[in-house]
Structure 1
Amino acid sequence: MEKTATQKIKLGIFVIVGLLIFITTVYFIGKKQNIFGKTTEISSIFDNVNGLQLGNNVRYSGVSVGTVTAIEMINDTMIRVEMDIDDKIISHINKDAVAIISSDGLVGNKIISILPGKKNKIPVKEGDVIKSMKRLNTEDMLKTLNVTNENTAKITSNLVKITEEITKGKGTIGMLINDTTMSADLKEITQGLKESATSLSQLTTSLNSKDNVIGVLNDTGTANSIKQTLKNLENSSLKIDDAVKNLNTTITNAKEGKGAINYLSNDPKLVQKIDSIMTNINKASIKLNENMEAMRHNFLFRGYFKKQEKEQKKNQKNSSSK
C-alpha cells in the first residue's frame, strides 16, 4: 500500500525531530566532557589508580575542569594518567600542583582531584607531568579498622580476665583490695612514713641552723674564712718547703766541705785565732774599765762624770713621776 503525502510529511518531521534531539544530546555530552572546547593535556604518575576509568572527571579545587583521556601502564609500579584540562582553567594550575585519586562522594565514581600549589607560581604547559600523592582509600581504612577491632577485642578479653582475678582476690592488686589485714598494715606503714618524713624535715632544719657544724659550714662568711685559712696554710707550706730545701742545701755543702760552717768546724788554726782574738778582747775590755775608773777619780774629768750622774738621777725621777 502506497504511503500518502501526509504520512510522508509526518515521517519526515519525526526523523528531523529525532535528529535534532540526537544532535542536542551529543552537544551537551560533548560540552560536559570538553569535546568541543580547547583543552591542554597534562599527566601524572600513580602506583595504583584504584578503579579510575577513561572519561572520569578531573576537578581542581572542587571545580570540574577536565576528563581522564588515557590510562597507560608503564611498569608494575607506575601508571600514567593523561588528562585534558580546559584552557580557561589551565593558567590557574601551577607546576607544583598535586594530583590525588579520590571518590565522587562516599561510594561514587573515581575522580582526579588536583590540589593547588603554593610555592611555584609558574602555570603548567602542554605535556607537563605534575606530582601525585597516594590517598588513603576506603578499603585501606576498612583494613586498618578491622585490625583495630581485633586488637580491641583482645584487650577487652584480657581486661575481663584481669578484673575477674582481682575480684577473686588473686594477684597483688586483688589481695590489696580483698585482704583487710594487709590494708591495715599498709595504713600503719603509711603513718610511719609520714612520721619519718616529719622527723627528717626537723632534722634537716636543725642541720641548717648555725648552732651546729653543718650550719656553720653552710654560712658563706665561715666558708670564705676557711678558704682563706687553707690558702694561708698552703702558702706557709710552700715557704716551709723552700726553707727545708735551703737547709738541706746548707747541710749538703757542710758535708761536702763547702761554706763557712765547714771551714770553722774543720780548720783548727782558725779556731785558735778566734780564741786568741776573744782573749785579747776580754783583756782590752778589762783595761778599758780600769782606765774609765781612773778617769772618774781624776780631777780633770771628775766634774763631767758628776754632771752625768745628776742628769741620770733627774731622768729617773721624771720617769718615776710619770
Structure 2
Amino acid sequence: MSATENKRSIVVGIFIFIGLAIFIAAVLTLGGKQKRFVSSITLKAVFNNVNGIQAGNNIFFSGVKIGTVSKINFYGNAQVEVTMHIEEAAQKYIHKNSVAKQGSEGFIGNKMIEILPGQGDAPQVEDGDRINVATALGPEDIMKTLQANNKNILTITDDFKKVTTDMLAGKGTLGTLLADTVMAGRLRQMTINLENASASTARVTSAVAQYTSKLNTKGTLTNELLTDTTVFASLKTAVKSLQNTAASASEMTNNLKLTSNKLNSDKNAVGVLLNDEQTAAKLKNTVSNLESSTKKLDENMEALQHNFLLRGFFKKKAKAEAAAAKDQSHQDPK
C-alpha cells in the first residue's frame, strides 16, 4: 500500500471517528433532554382532545420538567390516551388525585402537559396509574366567551352613550350640575365654606395640641393635679371640708333664721319683750321697783348692823372674815 493511500485512510478514519463522537454526543444530549437515561415510571391520562400534543413533548410539575410524552393512542370511541414517562424521583410528589392539564411553553411555544398537585393526603401514584385530566378551554369555547364579552361591552357602551347624552342635555343630577350655573355657584360656595371649616378645624386642633402640651408640662398646677396623686388627695380632702363647712354654714343660717323668726314672734317671752311695748313698760317698771326695794333693803341692813341687839353678831362675823383672810394670805405668799 502506497503512502498516499495510507494518508487517505488515516484522514477517512479521523472523519469517521469525529462523526461517531458527534453522533454519540447528540444521542446523549437528546437522551438527557428526553430523560431517556433516568429511572422513570409510566402514567397515563385520557383527553377528549390533545390539541396537537405529540410524543416527545415535555411534562411539567410545579414548573419543573419531570418527564416527556412517550406515546399517544386512541382510547374508546373518540378519546385519546397519552402515555407519559415520569422521573422516579418525582413520584413521591404526585398523588392519585393529581390532575393532568394541557398547556404550552410560553405564549406560542411547544405544547406540553402540566400535572397539578392533588389536595389532601391521597397516596402517591404507582407505575401504570391513570390520573384525571382538567378540562381545557378549546378555541370554540374561547370564541364563545369573546363573543359574550363583546356583547357585554357593546351594551355598556350603549348605556354610557345614553348617560352622556342625557348629561349634556341637562337631565339628571349630573346634567343639572353641568348645565345649571346657579348650582355651580352654590357648589363653589360650598367648597369655600368647607375650606374655611377645614382651616378652623386646623386652628382648633393646633390650640388643643398646645393646650395638651401645657398640660404635660411638669411643674404646673394642672399637671400636678393630673399626675400627682398626693395633690389630688389633698384637693379632694379640701373640697370635702369645704362641703362640710358649707353644710354647717347653711345649718347655722337656718338656725339664725328660725331664731330671728322667734324673736319677731309674740308667742314667746323674748319675742314679747322685744315686740310688745306694754310688756316692756311693765318690765321697766318692775326693774325700777326692784332697784327701789334693793336700796331700801340695804338701808334696813345698815340699820340692823347698828342695832344693839344684833351688833355683837355682826362684830363676830367681821372678826371671823378677817381671820380667814389672814390665813389665806399666809397660805398664798406673793
Q: Give TM-score scaled by structure 2 length.
A: 0.46
Give the TM-score normalised by the residue count of structure 1: 0.48
